[in-house]
């Protein structure tokens, strides 16, 4: 799938306990339940998240993997729909 067709957004909020994040894409952007997004910072993969709550313009997802256990997701990290 060409990258242009993939849903791309960014993290806008992180829970205090870092177990979930909020992204700036929602049902309006065709985000659906259980979608997996890769998370990037400076063009480097940070980890993945799975969407479990969707609103019209934002979604929340659980962190399902981190490339490095010491890394945390941050506001501004880029999210790209995984294949």
**Predicted pLDDT at 4:** 53
Per residue in 52-62, pLDDT tens?
999 999 999 99
Q: Please, are residues 66 and 47 in contact by the beta-carbon 8 Å criterion?
A: yes
CA distance 44 to 66: 12
Q: What mean pLDDT comes out for the span 28-57?
A: 96
- pLDDT of residue 73 exceeding 80, the answer is yes
pTM, full prediction: 0.89
- pLDDT of residue 29 exceeding 60, the answer is yes
- pLDDT of residue 1 exceeding 60, the answer is no
């Amino acid at each position: 799938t060409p990258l242009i067709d993939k849903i791309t957004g960014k993290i806008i909020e992180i829970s205090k306990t870092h177990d979930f994040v909020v992204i700036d894409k929602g049902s309006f952007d065709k985000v659906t339940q259980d979608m997996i997004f890769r998370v990037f910072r400076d063009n480097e993969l940070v980890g993945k998240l799975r969407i479990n709550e969707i609103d019209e313009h934002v979604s929340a997802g659980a962190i399902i993997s981190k490339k490095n256990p010491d890394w945390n997701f941050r506001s501004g990290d880029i999210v790209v729909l995984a294949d």
